């Protein structure tokens, strides 16, 4: 499969006050044409920051501190903002986790959609209007004509999320990054949106990076998965491999913490302990203090991400036995 996007050793740092720290470390992966790659991991593991680094929309106090990002055989991480804007929307688009942050409060929905569409598609004003209505209806927005004339503050969270999804899909991007695209939506709309992403994918061979906490969504939509922990990739595999035989103790714990649909629970099971802060990363394996299988070396040295075969990578001393001390 031809790859459309490649990340090579991407690191992202941030500065808060006088303190600089790394939030994403040495992340490498590729996305094939027409492929859906899932990125999973608990809150704070660096999924959104990795995604934002790809589309060039990192928060103002964060920057790419290492690595290259290749989109359609072109290095894009060093592009000027103006050149990056030319590819945003058409070559690559993103559905953000925080919908309000990506809608401009001073323009109506219609103006924002039109701006995006006219930059990339050759349509007349009335065609843009009809296309906008069509898009809003597709993402399940009732009264689409009226909503077009409203401002973001007039919309609920779920509604703004759908508008943003419509915007991200409007120019039929070659690659769509969807960061928790359906979290704020009810189950029926969630299914509708996922179907819509499926259609976009089938019609245009769109590649998708799907960031989600929902392993059910991963199982249904993704071909490969990347598991992130504390700013790093700890496992990369096909969906079948991850579900049938997860290698990394963190992935195993993540999968165990998924509630079964037939077992209604008051509270979700969770992995004890918490993700370390990027300001104080442990010296050895970043998962060591939560790992049921940890041994001495884990607390002392960090394992590399090693290839088990050309489809499978894992970062854990258990799979690097030849390198173990003693």
Ligand X SMILES: Nc1ncnc2c1ncn2[C@@H]1O[C@H](COP(=O)(O)OP(=O)(O)OP(=O)(O)O)[C@@H](O)[C@H]1O
- Interface contacts to ligand SF4, rule CB under 6 A: 248-249, 285, 287-288, 291, 293-294, 298, 303, 316-318
List the single partner that 317 binds among ligand SF4, Mg ion, ligand X, none, CB under 5 to 8 Å by kind. ligand SF4
Interface segment toward Mg ion; rule CB under 5 A; list 44-52, 78-86, 260-268, 304-312: 44-52
Query: 1, 61, 74, 143: which one contacts ligand X (CB under 6 A)?
Result: 61
Interacting residues of 12 by C-beta distance below 8 A, sequence separation 6+ = 22, 23, 24, 46, 49, 50, 53, 58, 62, 63, 64, 65
The neighbour count for residue 315, using CB atoms within 10 Å, is: 24
Asked if residue 254 lies in contact with residue 215, where contact means CB atoms within 8 angstroms, the answer is yes
The neighbour count for residue 115, using CB atoms within 10 Å, is: 14
Residues numbered 80-119 forming contacts with Mg ion, rule: CB under 5 A: 97
CA 134 to chain centre: 26
* Residue spans of alpha helices (H) in the chain: 47-55, 81-87, 109-120, 125-138, 144-148, 157-170, 187-204, 215-221, 239-244, 249-256, 296-300
Asked if residue 5 lies in contact with residue 31, where contact means CB atoms within 8 angstroms, the answer is yes
Shortest distance, position 254 Cβ to ligand X, whole Å? 12
Could you report how far apart the first and last alpha carbons of the chain are, in Å? 42
Shortest distance, position 246 Cβ to ligand SF4, whole Å? 12
Strand partners, 229: 232
List the single partner that 291 binds among Mg ion, ligand X, ligand SF4, none, CB under 5 to 8 Å by kind. ligand SF4
Between vectors from CA 289 to CA 283 and to CA 295, what angle results, nearest 5°?
80
Asked if residue 225 lies in contact with residue 236, where contact means CB atoms within 8 angstroms, the answer is yes
List the single partner that 46 binds among Mg ion, ligand SF4, ligand X, none, CB under 5 to 8 Å by kind. ligand X
Asked if residue 96 lies in contact with residue 174, where contact means CB atoms within 8 angstroms, the answer is no
Rounded CA gap, 225 and 260, in Å?
20
Q: By C-beta, is 152 or 181 nearer to Mg ion?
A: 181
Q: By C-beta, is 47 or 120 nearer to Mg ion?
A: 47
List the single partner that 288 binds among ligand X, Mg ion, ligand SF4, none, CB under 5 to 8 Å by kind. ligand SF4
Interface segment toward ligand X; rule CB under 6 A; list 43-51, 101-109, 135-143, 233-241: 43-51
Instruction: Based on the shown chain and the rule CB under 6 A, indicate whether residue 181 belongs to the binding site for ligand X.
Output: no
List the single partner that 221 binds among ligand X, Mg ion, ligand SF4, none, CB under 5 to 8 Å by kind. none
Shortest distance, position 38 Cβ to Mg ion, whole Å? 14
List the single partner that 23 binds among ligand SF4, ligand X, Mg ion, none, CB under 5 to 8 Å by kind. ligand X
Residues numbered 275-314 forming contacts with ligand X, rule: CB under 6 A: 278
Chain positions contacting Mg ion, by CB under 5 A = 47-48, 97
Chain positions contacting ligand X, by CB under 6 A = 14, 16, 23, 41, 43-49, 59, 61-62, 97, 278
């Amino acid at each position: 499969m031809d790859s459309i996007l490649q990340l090579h050793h991407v690191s992202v740092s941030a500065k808060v006050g006088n303190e600089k720290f790394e939030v994403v470390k040495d992340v490498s992966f590729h996305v094939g044409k027409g492929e859906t790659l899932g990125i999973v991991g608990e809150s704070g593991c660096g999924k959104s920051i990795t995604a934002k680094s790809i589309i060039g929309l990192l928060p103002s106090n964060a920057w790419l501190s290492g690595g290259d990002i290749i989109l359609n055989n072109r290095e894009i991480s060093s592009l000027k903002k103006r050149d990056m804007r030319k590819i945003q929307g058409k070559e690559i688009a993103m559905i953000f986790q925080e919908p309000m942050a990506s809608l401009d409060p001073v323009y109506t929905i219609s103006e924002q959609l039109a701006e995006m569409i006219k930059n990339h598609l050759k349509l007349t004003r009335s065609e843009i209007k009809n296309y906008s209505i069509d898009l809003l209806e597709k993402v399940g927005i009732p009264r689409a004509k009226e909503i077009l004339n409203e401002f973001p503050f007039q919309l609920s969270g779920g509604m703004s999320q759908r508008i943003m999804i419509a915007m991200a899909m409007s120019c039929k991007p070659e690659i769509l990054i969807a960061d928790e695209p359906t979290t704020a939506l009810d189950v029926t709309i969630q299914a509708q949106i996922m179907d819509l992403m499926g259609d976009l994918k089938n019609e245009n061979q769109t590649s998708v990076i799907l960031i989600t906490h929902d392993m059910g969504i991963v199982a249904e939509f993704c071909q490969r998965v990347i598991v992130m922990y504390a700013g790093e990739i700890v496992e990369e595999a096909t969906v079948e491999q991850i579900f049938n035989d997860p290698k990394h103790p963190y992935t195993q714990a993540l999968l165990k913490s998924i509630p079964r649909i037939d077992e209604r629970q008051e509270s979700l099971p969770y992995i004890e302990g918490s993700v370390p802060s990027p300001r104080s990363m442990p010296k050895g394996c970043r998962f060591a203090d939560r790992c049921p299988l940890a041994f001495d070396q884990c607390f002392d040295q960090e394992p590399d991400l090693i290839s088990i075969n050309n489809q499978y990578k894992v970062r854990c001393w258990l799979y690097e036995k030849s390198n173990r001390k003693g």
